Structure 1
Amino acid sequence: MTGTRFTPRDMLARLIAFDTTSRDGNLPLIDFVEAYLADWGIKSLRVDFEAGKKTNLYATIGPEDQGGIVLSGHTDVVPVDGQPWATNPFELTEKDGLLYGRGTCDMKGFLATALALVPDFKAAKLKTPIHLALSCDEEVGCIGVRPLVAYIKEHLPKPKAVIVGEPTLMKVVNAHKGAHTFATEVTGLEAHSSCTHLGVNSILVAGELLSEIGRIASDMRERGDPSGRFNPPYTTVHVGLIEGGTAKNIIPRRCAFKWETRLLPGSDPDEVPTRFNAFARTLEPAMHEVSPETGVRTDRTNVVPGLRPEPDSPAENLALHLAEANGTEAVSYCTEAGLFQEIGIPAIICGPGSIEQAHKPDEFIAISEMEKCETFMRKLIQHCVN
C-alpha cells in the first residue's frame, strides 16, 4: 500500500494545526496519524487514557513478534492562554530558519520527523522493528502514557530500547530528575476579622508552611548535587498555586496550595514530605486549642520517576552511535523515560530543539534541528536492517 508522503516540515505543519492542549484531548490528531499509518499498510493500537477524549497510539513497522526500538513522544501541548504570540500558535510559521508554533520543539518536531520517515521505515524491510509510541497528557505529570506502558509490559514483546524525543538539541540524555507533586489543604475556623481570637486563620498557617518549604528548598540548595551533572545542581522545591479566603473581613477557613519537589536520582523521595509534615504537626496544637476540627492535610498527588543513568545500556549505546556523540547529559525536566525504565526497558532521551523554547510564546524549533533528527532516524533505519 502507498499513502501520502510528507517532508518532516510538512508533517510538522499538519501536527501543529491540531490544538492538542492537554485539557482538550488529542483524538483528532490521533485520527489523522492512524489513517496516515493505515494508508501505508501499518496497523496501530489505541490504548485509552480517557475514553472519548484522550488516547495513546502504538504502531510497529517491521516484525511484530519481537521487541525493537521505541520512538516515544507526547502529542499534548501546554496552553497558549494569555501568551503574547506574534503568530498563530496553531499554524506553522517559518522565519529565518526557524519554525514557530505551539509544540514545535515540545515535541511535535520529533514526532513529525518519525512519521514523515514511515515510508522509509517500511521500505527498508527492517529486521529489528521500529515502534512508534504517541502518548497523551504528558504535560500534566506524565499520566496519560501509563496505560500504554502497562499494556506494553503485559501484552507485547519487550522492546530493546526506548528513545524519548524530548528536546535535547539532539544530545544524548541518560538521566533526569524525578518529580513528586503534593496538595496541601489547611482547615481553619471562620470568624469576624475583628475577633481573631475566636478563629483560626488558614492563610496565616499556610504562610508558616510556605516558609518551611522555603527553608527546605534552601537546605537542598546547600546540599547540592554530588554527581555534578544537573542544572540547577540540587533537588528543587517549588510552590506553584495557592488559593484561600472569601473576603477581607472574614477569617479564612480554607487555604490550599500545590507544590512539588524535583529530586536528584537516588534521593530519598520521602525526605522532603516527612520534614514538611513534621513541621505541620507542630502548628496543629495551637489550632486545636481553638477548634479540634482544624488541621493540615497533605496528599502526594503524582509521582514521575527519575531516569537513572545506565551506562552502556542498549539504549545509551544505540543513541550515542546514532547521534555520533561521545558522552551523555542530564536534564532537570521529567519524561516518560523513567516509567519505561521501571518496567525493565532501557531508555534514553534524544530529540530536536531546545527545552529553553518550550512552553513560551513564539515557541520554535530550528530547521537545522529537524535535519539533525532526520539524519539520526535514517541511521536508525540502517541499524535496524542489519
Structure 2
Amino acid sequence: MATTSSADPTTARDWLARLVSFDTTSRNSNLALIEAIETWLHRLGVPSRRVSGAAGAKANLLFSIGPDVAGGVVLSGHTDVVPIDGQAWSTDPWTLSERDGRLYGRGTADMKGFIAAGLSRVQAMLAADLARPVHFALSYDEEVGLLGAPSLIETLMGTVPTPAVVVVGEPTGMRIVDRHKGIMGIRTTVHGHEAHSSQTHLGVSANIVATRIMARIVAIADRLAAAPVAAPGFEPPHATVTIGLVQGGTAPNILARECSFIWDIRSTSPVEARAVYDDVEAYARQLDGEIRARFADCGITTEILSDVPPLTGAGNTPAIDLVSQLLPAPQCEVASYVSEAGLFECAGLPTVICGPGWIAQAHQPDEYIELEQLAAGEAFMDRLVEVLRA
C-alpha cells in the first residue's frame, strides 16, 4: 500500500527546494539526490531503475507511472548543475530563497524546476488511471558532455514499450523548441621539447605549435561566419567554432613542454561538423610529422570529448502536436544550445524541448526561476495527466 511521510515534498516549490539542496555540480556525485527520489517512490509503491555510471558515483534514474503499454510520454531532465566557482551570489546557492516573485538557487532554471514540476504530479498520475504511461528519465552529467543520457536512453528503449513522445525540460519559457545545434567538443594536446627560450633550435615550443592549430581554427570560424546563411532561424545563423580553454607552458623562459586546448564545433549538420574536424585534424597531422622529425618525444594528440547530434525536427510532429495541446499559446522556436533531445531523436523518438524558466538565467550567479514559470510547469503537468487519462 502506498504511503507518504509528512516530510515528503508535495508542491513543485517543495520539490524544488529539496532538489536545490543537493549540490549536484557535475564534478560531484548525484547519488544523494537519486536516493531521495528513490526512497519517496518506494513509499508510494513505484518501482524505479538506476542506470549507474562506470565509476558508480553517479546514476541515471528511470521510473514509469501508468500501464505497461506503448505510446507513453517521456519527461527527461538532467540532475547535474554547473559550478558556482567565482560567481558572486547574494544568497546561498543551495538553499531556495524567494525575492520579488523569483525563486533563487543553483539549478532552479536549469533544470530542476522542470523535474520538480513533474515530481509534484506523480501522485496525481497514480490516481488518474492513465491510459498511457509517463516515463521519468533523469540523467547525470549533461553539463559536461551529455555523458549519462546514452545509457539512460538505451535502458529506456530496452525496458519499456516504445514511447510516443519525449519532452526534454530545458528552460524555454514553456515554449516549444523543435530544433537545436549539435556539438563536437575536442581536446588537442601538443607535446613539445623543452629548451631555454633563447635556444629555439634546441627544442620545440608546444605553445607555438598549438597557436598555429588555433589560428587554423580561427580562420575556419571566420569563414563560416562570412558564408551565406546556412542555419536560418538560428542565432547566429551559421556553424560556430570556438576555443574555450587553453593551458600551456611552465615558465616564460622555457620552450613549452605541453600545450592543451579545448575547442568546440556547433552546427545543425553533423556532416559540416565532421568536415571542420577533419580539416583541423589534417593540419594537426601535418604539424605532428614535422615536430616528430625534429624530436622523437614530440607529437600532437586529439581527443573527441563529446559528439552530440543536433535536434533536426525530422519526424517530431507527434511531439509538437502533443505538447501544443498542453500549452495555452503554443509556439515553436529553435535554440543554439545543445541538449539531450538530439540523442532521443536519434533513438527514433519524436522529441521536443519545453520547460519552465529561461535559458538566460541558466549558469548565472543568482540563478532563478519566476514563480509564474514554475506554476506554468505545474499546469503543463496537470494538462498532461488529463490528456493521458483513461
- Is the CA contact (8 Å cut-off) linking 1:106 and 1:358 kept in structure 2? yes
From the superposition, tell whether residues 246 and 5 of structure 1 become closer, same or farther in structure 2 (CA, over 3 Å): closer
SS in 1 for 2:75: strand
CA contact (8 A) 1:174 1:307 kept: yes
- Matched to 1:57, the amino acid is L
Where structure 2 has 5 or more consecutive residues not aligned to the other structure, the ranges are: none
2:363 is aligned with 1:343? no
- Asked if residue 380 in structure 1 is aligned to residue 389 in structure 2, the reply is no
- Aligned residue in 2 for 1:169: 173
- Cα 1:27–1:286 shift into 2, 3 Å: closer
Task: Report the count of equivalent residues.
Answer: 386
1:176 and 1:265 in contact (8 A); partners too? no
Please tell me whether the aligned partners of residues 170 and 352 of structure 1 are also in contact (alpha carbons under 8 angstroms): yes
What's the Cα RMSD here? 1.7
Which residue of 1 is the match for residue 85 of structure 2? 81
TM-score, normalising length: structure 2 = 0.94
Distance in 2, matches of 1:50 and 1:312, equals: 32
Q: Which residue identity lines up with residue 189 of structure 1 in the other structure?
A: H
Greater Cα shift, 275-284 or 95-104:
275-284
C-alpha deviation, 1:362, in angstroms: 0.4
1:147 match: 151
Contact 2:235 2:336 in 1 (8 A): yes
**Of 260, 278, 285, which aligns to 2:282?**
278
Q: Deviations over 1:181-201 (max 9, x none)?
A: 111111221112221111111
Tell me the alpha carbon deviations over residues 149-195 of structure 1, each in whole angstroms, 9 at most, x when there is no partner. Answer: 11122232111111000000111011111110111111221112221
TM-score by length of 1: 0.95
Q: Alpha-carbon deviations, 1:41-80, whole Å to 9, x = none?
A: 2111111114541001111111024341010101111111
- Aligned residue among 361, 370, 374 for 1:370: 374
Contact 1:174/1:310 (CA < 8 Å) preserved in 2?
Answer: no
Report what 2:68 is aligned to.
64
Q: Does the 8 Å contact 2:69/2:133 carry over to 1? A: no
* Alignment partner, residue 36 of structure 1: 40
Is the 8 Å Cα contact of residues 270 and 309 (structure 2) preserved in structure 1? no
1:156 matched to 2:156: no
Contact 2:268–2:312 (Cα < 8 Å) also in 1: no
TM-superposed CA distance for 1:24, in Å, is 0.8
> Is 1:13 equivalent to 2:22 in the alignment?
no
Please say if residues 224 and 235 of structure 1, whose CA atoms lie closer than 8 Å, have aligned partners that are also in contact: no
Contact in 2 for aligned 1:245/1:254 (Cα 8 Å):
yes
Structure 1 residue runs without a partner (length 5+): none
**Aligned residue type for 1:245:** G
Distance 2:33 2:320 in 1: 30
2-structure distance, mates of 1:224, 1:376: 39
Distance 2:16 2:102 in 1: 13
Aligned equivalents of 2:40, 2:27: Cα separation in 1: 25
After TM superposition, give the deviation of residue 299 of structure 1 in Å: 2.4
CA displacement at 1:229 relative to structure 2: 1.3
Change (3 A) 1:59 1:312: closer
Q: What secondary structure, in the 3-state scheme, does the structure 2 residue paired with 1:153 have?
A: helix
Aligned to 2:300: 296
SS in 1 for 2:230: coil
- 2:99 maps to 95
Correspondence 1:190 to 2:194: yes
1:237 to 238, 241, 252: 241
Q: Distance in 2 between matches of 1:5 and 1:185?
A: 48
> Contact 1:265/1:307 (CA < 8 Å) preserved in 2?
no
| 1:102 CA drift (Å) | 0.2
Measured after TM superposition, the shift of residue 293 of structure 1 is 4.1
Once the two structures are TM-superposed, the CA of residue 292 in structure 1 deviates from its matched residue by 4.6
Q: Relative to 1, partners in 2 of residues 1:189 and 1:6: Cα closer, same or farther, differing over 3 Å? A: same
Cα drift, residue 267 of structure 1:
4.4
Flag the 1:288–1:379 CA change in 2: closer, same or farther, 3 A: same
In the other structure, the counterpart of 2:327 is: 323
Instruction: Give the partner amino acid of 2:210.
Output: A
Instruction: Quote the sequence identity (%).
Output: 45
Q: 1:185 is paired with a residue of what secondary structure?
A: strand
